[in-house]
Amino acid sequence: MRSNLGGSVIMAANTYDAIVIGSGMSGGWAAKELTEKGMQTLVLEAGRSMVPEVDYVEHVPTWGVKFRGLRDRKAELVNRPIQSQIGDEWNAKFFVDDLENPYTTDPDKPYLFLRGRHVGGRSVMWGRQTYRWSDLDFEANLKEGLGVDWPIRYKDIEPWYNYVEDFIGVSGQTEGLPQLPDSKFLPPMEMNCAELAVKEAIAGKFPDGRMMTIGRVAILTESHRGRAACHYCGPCQRGCITRSYFSSINSTLPAAQATGKMTLRPYSVVHSLIFDAKTRKITGVRIIDAQTHETTEFHARIVFLCASTLESARILLNSATREFPNGLANSSGELGHNLMDHIFKGGASGTIPGHEDHMQMGNRPNGIYVPRFRNIKEKHPAFLRGYGFQGGGRREGWERGSDTPGFGADFKHSLQSPGPWKFTFTGFGECLPNHDNHLELDKTKVDAWGVPALKINHKWRDNELAIYKDMSVTAAEMLEAAGAKDVTISTAQSLPGEGIHEMGSARMGRDPKTSVLNAHNQAHDIKNLFVTDGSCMVSSACVNPSLTYMALTARACDYAVGQMKRGEL
Amino acid sequence: MERREVLKLLASAAVLPALTPDAFSLLRGMHAAAAETPGLKALNPHQDATVTTIAELIIPQTTTPGAKAAKVNEFIDLILADWYDDATTARFLAGLADVDQRSQKLFGKDFVDSTPAQQNQLLKVLDDEATVARKQQAADEAASRKHALAPLNFFGMMKKLTVLGYYTSQVGFEVELHKSIIPSSHAGCVAISGVA
């Protein structure tokens, strides 16, 4: 039902070529790709709009927030007891109200579901660490007989990594490591004095090939595609008015907007997808307006579900029909299962002696990276797969004053200069797919819009715990090799979900009997449904996953539009 | 604060090592007295004067402004009124009263009325005690993996709030530390002599 009027396409009310659910990391890419390929696209975002000039707060000083960075502790105890564990006093507003957005767990399976609901999603607050996966990751399940085999290999995704990196801008150092393929890099950020010292001390010292490189990060070190280079103010998680780091607000959504083919609808809480049993296709999306609580339906030829690993599964579970009583597109029974997150916080820290006449200038919004070295050259006796380290060096600042004896003019003077160099390694470890780690709808609880809440069932298993245990050992070894003093082992351990790298709830696979999506992120059961956020992941690797979501999204959009043009969708 | 809550606080002696018998009147008077100090919510004028004096002794005016100029007392008042839980605030106020008691015992005067030399003498004792208490608390917290909201020792709290309040103020950040929100340059590793 279209008519051409004065050059612009007018479509039947509430009808589009494509609907994208979610406007974050993956949804932003789907919006950009689909609109640039000519699709009239509706982007549904559950949360509010974001206006960078108003909402970004990266240049607000400490004296510009009420509690000087300590957060509004008492208020958050009431409405953000969970989300107060992430972010800071400045960007707390980018995380959801826990009372409006409940979820449940069994008492013995605590889970942290940390998220925002606004245009841009978590791409606004993400850590920006950007790493390619390798065939070590894509082949692991097959080789070890775990979960299901990835239906793709590195060669399938490599051109899409190139494509995405060229658009978002990734700074890093070329290293030529097979387990961590190089991206198309902008110039790397500089290591500081302690990091240079540790890097040199580690190099060639360990038979397992441990080495250190600067973090690979979606932050511009030179101007790129109309966006300015980073000015090193530091707190990217509060926004970036110069658009120097990648977020969908800074990059993909403006590109989609520029096509004139995107309709972005905030405050659109998706209730469910509408399935037509005759055509076995999705005909539309049922939403609840977050402000008016009115229900509306939108229609399209294809739907891209990019609401996040947990929310996309929730929408599909809540879209059950007679044909799919256990959740839409769930003939395999795997929907909601195989939930993964990186186990982290293992590691060590210490003091690096010397370099006291040197310092770092500016606030580099990035750290170092030690690529995975376990189970590469030889098999580790205690666990499969491995982990990488993030972290870095820094000189202690005025904060040390609280723990330093003394007071008065000398005390004050001593705090004017930076303190000793500290160095920290924090491990991020792979999580194996396990059917028992799963999501379900809680039959007794709904959110503020009446949508059933998730019950999350996820716990660390033996392999993750063995990986965690090893992190402190190898981190301490590296610090000792660098001559560090006062080496302290981390005793903190992340809860499932705390890594904010949720993956796997609608996995890809070769066999419709054991997976939800095919090699193009297309639902095996429903041809016009694509899921391209972290849900699709078949294994978790140990590196940050966002780049892979973006590449898979762009790849799936290319496939979907190709299929539409050939009349197959 | 309700009488019932005060009794509960007094009963939990483990977390309130410094709570004195004056706590009742202190706590009961807290909100009423606050009205006497314009702009402050937790501290009465005498408490405010004591906090301001101690803060300035920790970070005095030198060639740059000190804690008083940075209005650290107002920050501490905010934390006591709106951030600490009631037990922690009560512990802070009891500790503050204890400073006067010690000052009276040593010098026959309240802290604010003592000479600078006397004030420094008492502060040295408090600081030494806080150092011991900090190490003990760190060991206990590492063992139990439970972290208190604030140092358990009064002077530990006072010093932490003073340092935080000062260096997060505009004076501390810009005048004392010569920092700017948008750095003038960035580099990984430069000699400090080369830094302007």
Residue A282: helix, strand or coil by DSSP?
A: strand
pLDDT for the residue numbered A59: 98
Helix pair angle (B116-144, B86-107), 10° resolution: 140
pLDDT for the residue numbered B183: 95
Cβ proximity of A349 and A422 under 8 Å? yes
Tell me which of A105-119, A259-273, B134-148 is least confident.
B134-148
Range 80-109 of B in CB contact (< 8 A) with A? 82-83
Domains, chain A, in order of start with CATH, read 12-99+119-127+246-340+502-565 (3.50.50.60), 189-237+343-429+460-489 (no CATH)
Closest CB to A402 among B163, B169, B192: B163
CB proximity B186 to A under 8 Å: yes
- What share of chain B has pLDDT > 70, as a percent? 80
Measured over the CA atoms of residue B179, residue B180, residue B184 and residue B186, the dihedral's sign is positive
Average model confidence (pLDDT) across chain A? 96
Q: Contacts of residue B183 in chain A, CB cutoff 8 Å? A: 231-233, 361-363
Q: Contacts of residue A403 in chain B, CB cutoff 8 Å? A: 134
Per the structure block, which two tokens stand in for B76? 């501490």
Arithmetic mean of pLDDT, A70-90: 96
For residue A188, pLDDT beyond 80:
yes
d(CA A306, CA B147): 38
Range 25-84 of B in CB contact (< 8 A) with A? 57-60, 62, 66, 75, 78-79, 82-83
pLDDT for the residue numbered B142: 87
Q: Do B192 and A73 touch (CB under 8 A)?
A: no
HSE (CB half, 13 Å, CA atoms) of A101?
21
pLDDT digits over A500-529, tens only? Answer: 999 999 999 999 999 999 999 999 999 999
pLDDT for the residue numbered A12: 74
d(CA A381, CA A375): 9
Residue B57: helix, strand or coil by DSSP?
A: helix
d(CA A269, CA A118): 11
pLDDT digits over B163-180, tens only? Answer: 999 999 999 999 999 999
Residue A296: helix, strand or coil by DSSP?
A: strand
- Of the candidates A353, A365, A363, the residue with the CA atom closest to the CA atom of residue A485: A353
Per the structure block, which two tokens stand in for A146? 């775990």
Range 109-148 of B in CB contact (< 8 A) with A? 120, 123, 127-128, 131, 134, 142, 145
Identify the helix (H) or strand (E) that includes residue A547: helix A546-565
Write the DSSP symbol of residue A150: -
- Of the candidates A108, A107, A115, A104, the residue with the CA atom closest to the CA atom of residue A47: A115
Q: Cα A191 to the chain's mean position, in Å?
A: 24
Q: Contacts of residue A355 in chain B, CB cutoff 8 Å? A: 189
Q: What is the largest CA-CA distance in chain A?
A: 82
pLDDT digits over B77-118, tens only? Answer: 999 999 999 999 999 999 999 999 999 999 999 999 999 999
Residues in chain B: 196
For residue A264, pLDDT beyond 80:
yes
pLDDT for the residue numbered A75: 96
- What share of chain A has pLDDT > 90, as a percent? 97
CB proximity B165 to A under 8 Å: yes
Predicted confidence band of residue B5 (pLDDT cuts 50, 70, 90): very low
Nearest CA in chain A to B143: A491
Q: Do A362 and B170 touch (CB under 8 A)?
A: no
From the CA of A213, how many Å to the nearest CA of chain B? 14
Which of A101-114 are b and which e, b meaning 16 or more Cβ less than 10 Å from the residue's Cβ? bbbebeeeeebbbb
Q: How would you write B73-111 as a 3-class SS string?
A: HHHHHHHHHHCCCHHHHHHHHHHHHHHHHHHHHHHCCCH
Question: In chain B, which ranges are E strands?
Answer: 187-191
Give the best residue of B78, B181, B184 to mutate against chain A (max A CB count within 10 A). B181
Predicted confidence band of residue A283 (pLDDT cuts 50, 70, 90): very high
Average model confidence (pLDDT) across chain B? 85
Arithmetic mean of pLDDT, A135-142: 98
Cβ proximity of A396 and A420 under 8 Å? yes
CA dihedral of residues B100, B106, B108, B110 (deg, nearest 10): -20
d(CA A479, CA A16): 57
From the CA of A374, how many Å to the nearest CA of chain B? 29
- Of the candidates A255, A270, A379, A378, the residue with the CA atom closest to the CA atom of residue A316: A270
d(CA A401, CA A411): 8
- What share of chain A has pLDDT > 70, as a percent? 98
pLDDT for the residue numbered A17: 98
Cβ proximity of A200 and A392 under 8 Å? no
Looking at the DSSP bridge assignments, the partners of residue A426 are A347, A390
Nearest CA in chain B to A191: B188
pLDDT for the residue numbered A286: 98
Arithmetic mean of pLDDT, B11-22: 37
pLDDT for the residue numbered A79: 93
Backbone phi, psi, residue A217, to 5°: -145, 140
Contacts of A480 by beta carbon, 8 Å cutoff, 6+ apart: A487
Cα separation values, A108 from A82, A89, A504, B113, Å: 16, 30, 22, 57
pLDDT for the residue numbered B3: 36
- In degrees, rounded to 5, the angle at the alpha carbon of residue A240 between the alpha carbons of residues A417 and A91 is 80
Arithmetic mean of pLDDT, A308-315: 98
d(CA B92, CA B15): 12
Cβ proximity of A397 and B164 under 8 Å? no
From the CA of A67, how many Å to the nearest CA of chain B? 8
pTM above threshold 0.90: yes
d(CA A344, CA A470): 11
Nearest CA in chain B to A58: B181
Arithmetic mean of pLDDT, A70-99: 97
- Of the candidates B45, B49, B14, the residue with the CA atom closest to the CA atom of residue B29: B45
For residue B18, pLDDT beyond 50:
no
Write the DSSP symbol of residue B171: I
- The region, left, alpha or beta by phi > 0 then psi within -120 to 50, assigned to residue A234 is left
Cβ proximity of A559 and A156 under 8 Å? no
Q: Contacts of residue B169 in chain A, CB cutoff 8 Å? A: 62-63
HSE (CB half, 13 Å, CA atoms) of B80?
31
Identify the helix (H) or strand (E) that includes residue A41: strand A41-44
Q: Does the model's ipTM exceed the 0.90 cut? A: yes
Tell me which of A116-125, A364-373, A439-448, B16-25 is least confident.
B16-25
**Based on the number of CB atoms within 10 Å of its own CB, is A181 exposed (0-12), middle (13-18) or buried (19 or more)?**
middle
Write the DSSP symbol of residue A487: E
pLDDT digits over A168-180, tens only? Answer: 999 999 999 999 9
Nearest CA in chain B to A60: B181
pLDDT digits over A398-419, tens only? Answer: 999 999 999 999 999 999 999 9
Question: In A277-367, which ranges are E strands?
Answer: 281-289, 295-305, 343-352, 358-361
- DSSP labels, A48-78: B---HHHH--TT--GGGSTTTTS--HHHHHH
CB atoms within 10 A of CB B61: 14
Q: Do A409 and B60 touch (CB under 8 A)?
A: yes
Q: Do B163 and A399 touch (CB under 8 A)?
A: yes
pLDDT for the residue numbered B195: 52
pLDDT digits over A195-253, tens only? Answer: 999 999 999 999 999 999 999 999 999 999 999 999 999 999 999 999 999 999 999 99
Q: Do B181 and A358 touch (CB under 8 A)?
A: no
Nearest CA in chain A to B66: A412
Arithmetic mean of pLDDT, A13-25: 97
Identify the helix (H) or strand (E) that includes residue A269: strand A268-276
By DSSP bridging, strand A281-289 and strand A295-305 are: antiparallel
d(CA A248, CA A164): 12
Q: Cα A376 to the chain's mean position, in Å?
A: 25
- DSSP labels, B129-160: HHHHHHHHHHHHHHHH----SS-SSHHHHHHH
pLDDT for the residue numbered B36: 54
Cβ proximity of A430 and A342 under 8 Å? yes
**Based on the number of CB atoms within 10 Å of its own CB, is B135 exposed (0-12), middle (13-18) or buried (19 or more)?**
exposed
Per the structure block, which two tokens stand in for A464? 């993750």
For residue A473, pLDDT beyond 60:
yes
Per the structure block, which two tokens stand in for A204? 């060639």
Q: Do A415 and B163 touch (CB under 8 A)?
A: yes
Q: Contacts of residue A69 in chain B, CB cutoff 8 Å? A: 168
Cα separation values, A32 from A41, A252, A254, A312, A555, Å: 9, 6, 8, 20, 12
Q: Contacts of residue A359 in chain B, CB cutoff 8 Å? A: 189-190, 192, 195
